């Protein structure tokens, strides 16, 4: 039988990563798998920058569904597919009406009969779970109300690059215990990074999440701290991280949230309470003068823009891992 584009597998994707079928949340990953994925992404980044990347996904197509706005996630996946010799199709949710015009299961079945992967940014996490349950090709969560695993992947890779290691570091998250915080609470202990989070009363991390993070942290020497005091959270922190107080889908709560989070701004005074060598991270988009001040975003301790650039490099590696495999028959 004639070999077709897409029948091959790139042999140097580490074996441990071949077991990944979907990428819905960091919690689904063993620590060793996450660490291997980060190593692989940083290797491929170096090869890309040296002009040595091969078009591993020639002839492959990624379908991208967006129920919410995006710059980094969409561009990262679209540019990555082009760089790997494949193609990305943007499906505007106004047109396809995921889980409204058509049930997720039918959308998943149709897309997986035409494409090699699905990336979806959704309101309800359940939607990506349903897509994965009915898809015959890998599904990637490009952000849900519950998790943002692609962000955490880029974040830990950025930390590894900056410090040359992850074990023994401490990350302090200041603000809402949202999708980004939850993914970091799972990614940090898996990579030996202690995680503290300071949120106002009523916006803290769920007890179950904290227990799970603690359990994982015990195995990899990482502590987990939950507090309402930002200064307590940043003590001895190597990384100070924040995100918007109002996530997409919560816009109707924004006035109340701006009031409730007023004492949770990442500014020069708070940064001074962390280690002198501490860096600042933010997943972007940032609202200057709300959760973070302009002098911190643009200051010498910020690694926010290299962090954003790593969305491309880590997503490209993730695509190679998930899409470079034999097509379902």
Chain residues that interact with ligand NVA, rule: CB under 6 A? 143, 178-180, 243-244, 247-248, 283
Interacting partner of 71 out of ligand CP, ligand NVA, none (Cβ under 5 to 8 A depending on kind) = ligand CP
d(CA 192, CA 75): 30
In whole angstroms, how close is the CB of 172 to ligand CP at the nearest point?
19
311 catalytic per annotation? yes
CA pair distance 251, 254, nearest whole angstrom:
5
**End-to-end CA gap in the chain:** 14
- In the annotation, is 116 catalytic? no
Name the residue whose CB lies closest to ligand NVA: 247
Rounded to whole angstroms, the Cα distance separating 259 from 245 reads: 10
Asked whether position 151 contacts ligand CP by CB under 6 A, the answer is yes
179 binding partner (options ligand CP, ligand NVA, none; Cβ < 5 to 8 Å by kind) = ligand NVA
Rule CB under 6 A: say whether 179 interacts with ligand CP. no
Question: Is 284 an interacting residue with respect to ligand CP (CB under 6 A)?
Answer: yes
**Residues 212, 186 contacting (CB under 8 angstroms):** yes
Instruction: Report the interhelical angle of 125-134 vs 104-114 (nearest 10°).
Output: 50
The four Cα atoms 160, 161, 162, 165 give a dihedral, to 10 degrees, of 30
Q: Which does 244 bind (CB under 5 to 8 A by kind): ligand CP, ligand NVA, none?
A: ligand NVA
CA distance 318 to 246: 28
Is 148 assigned a catalytic role?
yes
Interactions with ligand CP, residue window 42-71 (CB under 6 A): 70-71
Which are the catalytic amino acids?
A: 121, 148, 151, 243, 283, 311
Q: State the residues that interact with ligand CP by CB under 6 A.
A: 70-73, 143, 151, 283-284
């Amino acid at each position: 039988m004639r070999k077709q584009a897409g029948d091959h597998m790139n042999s140097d994707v580490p074996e441990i990563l071949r077991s990944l079928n979907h990428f819905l949340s960091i919690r689904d990953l063993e620590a060793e798998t996450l660490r291997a994925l980060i190593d692989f992404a940083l290797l491929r980044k170096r090869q890309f920058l040296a002009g040595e990347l091969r078009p591993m996904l020639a002839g492959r197509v990624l379908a991208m569904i967006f129920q919410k706005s995006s710059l980094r996630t969409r561009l990262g996946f679209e540019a990555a597919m082009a760089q790997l010799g494949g193609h990305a199709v943007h499906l505007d949710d106004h047109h396809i009406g995921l889980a409204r015009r058509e049930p997720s299961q039918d959308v998943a079945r149709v897309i997986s009969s035409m494409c090699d992967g699905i990336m979806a940014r959704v309101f309800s996490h359940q939607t990506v779970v349903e897509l994965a349950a009915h898809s015959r090709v890998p599904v990637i969560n490009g952000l849900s109300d519950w998790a943002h695993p692609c962000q955490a992947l880029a974040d830990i890779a950025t930390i590894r690059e900056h410090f040359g290691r992850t074990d023994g570091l401490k990350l302090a998250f200041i603000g809402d215990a949202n999708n980004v915080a939850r993914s970091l609470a799972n990614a940090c202990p898996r990579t030996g990074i202690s995680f503290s989070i300071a949120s106002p009363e009523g916006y803290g991390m769920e007890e179950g999440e904290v227990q799970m993070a603690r359990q994982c942290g015990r195995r990899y020497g990482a502590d987990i701290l939950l507090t309402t005091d930002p200064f307590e959270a940043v003590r001895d922190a190597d990384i100070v991280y924040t995100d918007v107080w109002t996530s997409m889908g919560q816009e109707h709560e924004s006035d109340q949230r701006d009031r409730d989070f007023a004492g949770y701004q990442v500014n020069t005074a708070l940064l001074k309470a962390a280690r002198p060598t501490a860096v600042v991270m933010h997943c972007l988009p940032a609202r200057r003068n709300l959760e973070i001040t302009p002098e911190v975003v643009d200051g010498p301790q910020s690694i926010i823009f290299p962090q954003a650039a790593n969305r491309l490099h880590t997503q490209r590696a993730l695509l190679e891992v998930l899409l470079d495999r034999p097509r379902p028959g």
